A and B are shown apart, each in its own frame.
Chain A
Amino acid sequence: AQTVTQSQPEMSVQEAETVTLSCTYDTSENNYYLFWYKQPPSRQMILVIRQEAYKQQNATENRFSVNFQKAAKSFSLKISDSQLGDTAMYFCAFKGTYKYIFGTGTRLKVLA
């Protein structure tokens, strides 16, 4: 069975600092997609970044970047220069042949 694990239920970071959220997954598939979603207090799910498994290069989107280690089945999210608006729940998600699978989430709080 495919699983997504986020081992950090809560994290905090000082404004302007860098924080890394971890995510591991398990699958027997070779072609798949990985995502990080942000869910702020409004509850709207927002795509932060995505990674295609066939691409070796780590995805980056402005202050957000990932460390994708396919062999280790690891997909961590690094947020640089953290801002107060980054405070939210972050979900790691896997998309293989069938449905999306979400991790349990990491609640990130950015401290002023």
Chain B
Amino acid sequence: GAVVSQHPSRVICKSGTSVKIECRSLDFQATTMFWYRQFPKQSLMLMATSNEGSKATYEQGVEKDKFLINHASLTLSTLTVTSAHPEDSSFYICSARGGSGSYEQYFGPGTRLTVT
């Protein structure tokens, strides 16, 4: 149980275009989802926290207009990188957490974004 999927696993896009990454909890309802960014050989940096049905809370320094997060259902959250630039190239990881009282998060397999 507690499986989280991400799609796509890899994506290449051109500068100036937008790309959407999906995060799904397959066998549980995720009231909260997290989006992380991981640079090569570095740790996970939390970008934003989203709760189902409400606006995401972004970490300091993360542009909310550039990284659009939607958590429209209890099993799906999306991250859209708008007007992508090469510096947005990175590994993006989502995680999901269940209902109240649940503290453990389950990670997706990640999405490698390359902006050319």
Contact = CB atoms under 8 A, between A and B. Distances in A.
A44 to B, nearest CB: 5
Contact of B43 (A42, A50, A102): A102
A102 B91 CA distance: 16
B49 A99 contact: yes
Contacts of A95: 103
Contact of A44 (B44, B49, B109): B109
B43 A47 contact: no
Interface residues of A, number: 18
A46 B104 CA distance: 12
B42 A50 contact: no
B93 interface: yes
Contacts of B107: 37, 44-46
A100 B110 contact: no
B79 to A, nearest CB: 16
Given A91-B43, A91-B44, A102-B44, A43 B110 contact: yes
Contacts of B44: 45, 91, 102
Interface in B92-114: 93, 95, 103-105, 107, 109-110
A42 B91 CA distance: 12
Nearest to A50: B104
A64 interface: no
Interface in A40-56: 42-47, 50
Interface of B: 34, 38, 41-44, 46, 49, 59, 91, 93, 95, 103-105, 107, 109-110
